[in-house]
Amino acid sequence: MPDSNGPQSIEVNVNGYIWTAIIESWQTQSKFPADVVTMTGHSRTMLLNAPYRMPRDYAQAAQKTAQQLMNDELQFSGFTLDYGTTDWLVPGGTWTYQQQTPIGAIQRIASAAGAIVQSHPFNDVLQIRPRWPTNPWDWASTSPDKTVLDDFTPQLTAVDQTSGTATYQIAGLPLWPATATDMPGLISPLHLVQFVAASGWKGQVASVQINVQMQSNTGSASALVVAQDIKLDSPPADPIFDYVLVSGQQVGVSSPIIRNGRAGTTRLPQIVDALITDATVQRERGRNAIAGGGEGVARANFWRALTGTLPGTRYIKGSVTSINADGSLTVATTDGGAICARPLPGQTWAIGAGVFVQDGRVVDTAPTLTGVTQYV
């Protein structure tokens, strides 16, 4: 249990698969006929977050790659990177933050490329992976990471959504020993899984929960049962978004990313990010956004798809087209829309000026950034 030196680490071995974690709390309950011990904790990646590492302010001076910026955050931590996504150059002075922990800063850099940060099951390694390793429209021609036969599956649930997509959940799939190489074995998030039944389909793993329990039959014989419950993201239903404008902030590039073979008429809200500093990261950010039907996870619900198009706290890039009688500005956005915004007190803007709008306020100058349309 935790002591004055901090949290203790444990190792769990389930059928030959190993996980390590830190224990943050420990509870013992005595009740006839058995004592129950409950432990809670996190992966060791938590050691890169508060309260184990305090937030700090930082401003990058020299040009570095995104991977180098992440490695800077891991100095003297004992953790290393397994970098598995696009790398790109970030000019000096571009990357700054306030009150971020190391893991928070690394997640922020990864998000610029549409990537996520995963914890290695048992090593002190951060795995940087695309949120969508394979485009959903390419799944049919892509070999799966795992294949699950229908006779392996005790329970399969398909939840249909109003958009026409379905979220699949497989409950009670056995976790065979690691030595059983002819079985699917451990399934992990981001795996592309093919389910073989009367009509086969593929989906990307969203989450996995391992369940270990003792079960008894009517003859009083008991057995330890290990199973994995898996939630899969199915591909977004057609027609899905096929266009997104991805732009840097004060430096970088600005141009559309369009799904290959599509007209680019179904548009996502524009993405503005200070770390979009070249065409490589711009393409990868746009590809992941289109693959998921928006920023983050797939938008399987029609209401979420509608609300996801509304302006929030994000930056919106555009140019002033008119100054209204009430002092507000009409701004033509770079993705083809038009919005009204108010300047901050004491600020004035000329017609034609490039601006950034956030929460209905003009907050900064938007320089003219060039770029080339890319297809994914």
> Which tens digits make up the pLDDT trace of 151-201?
777 677 766 554 445 567 777 788 888 898 888 889 999 999 888 765 567
According to the model, what pLDDT value does residue 225 have? 76
Are residues 257 and 272 both part of a single domain?
yes
Are residues 325 and 285 both part of a single domain?
yes
Helix, strand, or coil (residue 74): coil
User: Of 113, 130, 147, which closes a domain?
Assistant: 130
Are residues 353 and 283 both part of a single domain?
yes
CB 55 within 8 A of CB 224: no
Q: Please report where in the chains the tokens 């981001």 appear, as a residue.
A: 190
CB environment 106-122: b (16+ within 10 A), e (fewer): bbbbbbbbbbbbbbbbb
Does some domain include residue 1? no
Which residues of the chain fall below pLDDT 70? 1-4, 33, 154, 158-167, 197-200, 214-223, 234-239, 295-313
Are residues 221 and 146 both part of a single domain?
yes
* Domain total in the chain: 3
Are residues 191 and 290 both part of a single domain?
no
According to the model, what pLDDT value does residue 236 have? 63
User: Of 212, 233, 254, which closes a domain?
Assistant: 233
Q: Please report where in the chains the tokens 């990313």 appear, as a residue.
A: 257
**pTM of the predicted structure, to 2 decimals:** 0.84
According to the model, what pLDDT value does residue 298 have? 43
Over the stretch 255-287, which tens digit does the pLDDT of each residue have? 999 999 998 988 898 999 999 999 999 999 999
According to the model, what pLDDT value does residue 238 have? 59
Q: How far apart are CA 317 and CA 332, in angstroms?
A: 8
Are residues 141 and 224 both part of a single domain?
yes
Q: How far apart are CA 81 and CA 63, in angstroms?
A: 20
- Please report, for the domain that includes residue 108, its CATH number: 3.55.50.10
Name beta bridge partners: 10.
21
Q: How far apart are CA 36 and CA 30, in angstroms?
A: 6
- Please report, for the domain that includes residue 344, its CATH number: 2.40.50.140
Q: What is the DSSP letter of 350?
A: -
Are residues 247 and 371 both part of a single domain?
yes
User: Two tokens at 157?
Assistant: 């649930």
Are residues 172 and 114 both part of a single domain?
no
Are residues 214 and 313 both part of a single domain?
no
Q: How far apart are CA 279 and CA 248, in angstroms?
A: 10
Q: How far apart are CA 137 and CA 371, in angstroms?
A: 25
Boundaries of domain holding 311: 243-375
Does some domain include residue 328? yes
The CA-atom distances, in angstroms, between 44 and each of 8, 10, 103, 306 are 10, 10, 11, 38
